[in-house]
A and B are shown apart, each in its own frame.
Chain A
Amino acid sequence: MRSMPGKTLYDKIWDAHVVDTQDGEAILYIDLHLIHEVTTPQAFAGLRANRRPVRRPDRTLAVADHNVPTEGQALGVDAVADEEARLQLQTLARNVKDYGIEFFPMGDVRNGIVHVVGPEQGRTQPGMTIVCGDSHTSTHGAFGALAQGIGTSEVEHVLATQTLRQKKSKNFRVRIEGEPAPGVGAKDFALAVIGEIGTAGGTGSVIEFAGSAVRALSMEGRMTLCNLTIEGGARAGLVAPDETTFAYLMGRPAAPKGGAWEMALSYWKTFFTDEDAVFDREIVLDAAQIAPTVTWGTSPEDVVAVTGLVPAPESFETPDKRASAVRALDYMGLSAGQPITDAKIDVVFIGSCTNSRIEDLRSAAQIAAKALEGGHRVAEGVRAMVVPGSGLVRAQAEDEGLDEVFKAAGFEWREPGCSMCLGMNPDKLTPGQRCASTSNRNFEGRQGRGGRTHLMSPAMAAAAAIAGHIVDVRDYL
């Protein structure tokens, strides 16, 4: 007897969370709801207006990250200079108090970027459904959790019902096989994938990352990869949980303990894609062919190997893509055909939910330490900032002496937050400034009006800080 075709990891998580269906929409149970100050005020206001409680405050966790300054956090929210930011932060504090939601406020060592905090606390676990009013919620997919960004109305819906109304997406698998060259890692994989499929390539799909090169990644690397899934158009990315996942989770504050750990482990191990599962689409990349990768334009799909040249608009297939390239080159102040390594850097930003975890800081610090040995520091005229993803990442880095390395090499060592990723707090580019950034979006004005962003890995960004222009990190290893 022929059995049912196999299920993908996404199918299994989906099926395990369908509570009911209504009008052709599934009502999906949500295991973890992460919230922050920017996308929740109206959601709580909606609850109040309708006198609705938060259904599961115990499955909700709040942090303050988007608006916070990355210095002087010990002074508290009332000292935040920006009036609107201060109000949003104060509003969050009031809402979590009124509804009994756990909150790591600004200045608490556990606070930080929401997508760093969830995993770090062991809240993010395999097989879960996770939502947050932030598109980079895809990060948590690194644990084999279905994690997606939602809008404010949906935030309110989840607060009230602990469910999300949704239609199922397609299954898309990206396999990265083989061994990457030294100096090439998850950020390069992610940029290469986006370069391959385009920023809308994953629209309507959930992407499962698989293959030997993905298996070999640390949890930090998998988080970087899944974080950037949304830049490829997919609302969620997934990596099946394995021993690397379980080892990361063990002992974390919210991870199950004792007998519950064993029980959880056997449950988590059921979340993998069956051999005979069918994907709607699949692509395979050879890790050995991926070079350190940077962006040259104003879309995450505008990628080039660091050894490459800025492309000519004529090289694009369609008239609208050619027009976009002309506009991007003008905005970025670059010329077609010039080596990307010609791009001189004004600012280096090492941080964001993409690359602010301990492993990211270690790889950047390694470049800084090597430079110091050779008598080099951050290049003249370059402002280089390192912004740890959470207070705990910051503390661990300090225990390891990374802060001393950074400071000795001329980097600023700042307090945790979203910082210069999105220009909602004091860390912004000024018009025309060019930034080597470990963040996730190189959109026009994203890091500050007129700012020019080149996305790259932490090691590449650190090397650019030392050189004063984009460089191939492999020359600095």
Chain B
Amino acid sequence: MQPFTRLDAPAAPLPLANIDTDQIIPKQFLKTVEREGLAKGLFYDFRFDPEGREKPEFVLNQPAYQKAGVLVAGDNFGCGSSREHAPWALMDFGIKAVISTSFADIFYNNCFQNGLLPVVLKPEEVQQLMDEARGGNHVVSVDLEAQTVTSPSGTQFTFDIDPQRKAKMLNGLDAIGETLQVAASIDTYEMKRALSQPWLEGA
């Protein structure tokens, strides 16, 4: 998992509430053998018509937002199924932070497993970001260490986050990352084992 410290990136406004994981990534994309490549299915029914043609009006299809790194969305983002494909798809597209007034529990948890930062702000703050993101300058700064979001016009908002989760995100620690903190213990164990059970080496 990549550490998340600070992000300066274009923000795409998605002023809809209750965006569920089926909308984030529909079921036909769940048969993949990869976590990679899911960007093609991200918001599929928002981005494409039934014939597979791009809908130019959808925000992520507009040239100004195709490189968006932040999504600003309405209440209860990520509700529905537990599919981890949802954060995978967002990250594969290049989204590294989602800002909303609230998130569904499972999606919120899944974000932290994958280095995607979910940021909860007050409704009026989300609204201001949404409005500013529609303008010409729509670069938002998200600073996890300071727990701040800075709008394109320079207004700074602060957000809350669980300190342990914050620490793991800052260090890029998923379970594997956490375990690798004791890599030296694993090295030592392996060295001892190589001596006591040499028949298991190079098998």
Contact = CB atoms under 8 A, between A and B. Distances in A.
Does B bind A? yes
Interface of A: 19-20, 22-23, 27, 29, 31, 41-42, 45-46, 48-50, 52, 55, 58-59, 84, 87-88, 91, 123, 153, 156-157, 160-163, 165, 254, 256, 260-261, 263-264, 267
A165 B189 contact: no
8 contacts: A23-B178, A49-B36, A50-B176, A84-B31, A91-B33, A91-B34, A160-B180, A161-B176
Contact of B176 (A22, A41, A160): A160
Nearest to B188: A19
B185 A58 contact: no
Contacts of A267: 196-197
Interface in B147-203: 175-176, 178-183, 185-186, 189-190, 193, 196-203
B199 A260 contact: yes
Given A58-B203, A59-B200, A267-B197, A19 B35 contact: no
Interface string B98-127: 000000000000000100000000000000
Nearest to B172: A50
Given A19-B185, A19-B189, A162-B186, A45 B176 contact: no
A20 B182 contact: yes
Nearest to B1: A50
B175 A157 contact: yes
Contacts of A31: 200
A19 B186 CA distance: 6
B165 to A, nearest CB: 13
Contacts of B180: 160-161
A108 B113 CA distance: 38
Contacts of B34: 41-42, 45, 91
Contacts of B185: 19-20, 27
A55 B35 CA distance: 21
B33 A163 contact: no
Contacts of A91: 33-34
Contacts of A254: 203
Contacts of A46: 35
Given A42-B35, A58-B203, 8 more contacts: A41-B32, A41-B33, A45-B34, A49-B36, A50-B1, A52-B176, A59-B200, A153-B113
A374 B185 CA distance: 65
Contacts of A264: 197, 199
A267 B197 CA distance: 8
A84 B201 CA distance: 36
Given A27-B179, A50-B1, A88 B186 contact: no
Contact of B182 (A22, A45, A48, A59): A22
B33 A161 contact: no
B179 A165 contact: yes
Leading 3 A-B pairs by shortest Cβ distance: A41-B33, A256-B199, A20-B185
Contacts of B183: 161
B115 to A, nearest CB: 9
A161 B179 contact: yes
Contacts of B178: 22-23
Contacts of A263: 198-199
Nearest to B33: A41
A127 B197 CA distance: 11
Nearest to A161: B179
Given A19-B189, A29-B189, A45-B34, A165 B182 contact: no
Contacts of B203: 58-59, 123, 254
A165 B178 CA distance: 10
Nearest to B92: A49
B86 to A, nearest CB: 14
B193 A29 contact: yes
Interface in B6-37: 31-36
Nearest to B85: A42
A267 B196 CA distance: 9
B36 A45 contact: yes
Nearest to B35: A45
B61 to A, nearest CB: 25
A260 B179 contact: no
A382 B174 CA distance: 52
Contacts of B113: 153
Contacts of A41: 32-34
Contacts of B36: 45, 48-49
A209 B36 CA distance: 43
B141 to A, nearest CB: 25
A395 to B, nearest CB: 23
B177 to A, nearest CB: 8
Nearest to B185: A20
A69 B178 CA distance: 40
B200 A29 contact: no
A31 to B, nearest CB: 6
Contacts of A45: 33-36
A161 B197 contact: no
| Residue from B35, B193, B198, B203 with most neighbouring chain A CB atoms (10 Å) | B203
A14 to B, nearest CB: 14
B1 A163 contact: no
Given A29-B193, A45-B34, A49-B35, A165 B199 contact: no
B33 A87 contact: yes
A295 to B, nearest CB: 31
A261 B202 CA distance: 15
B198 A58 contact: no
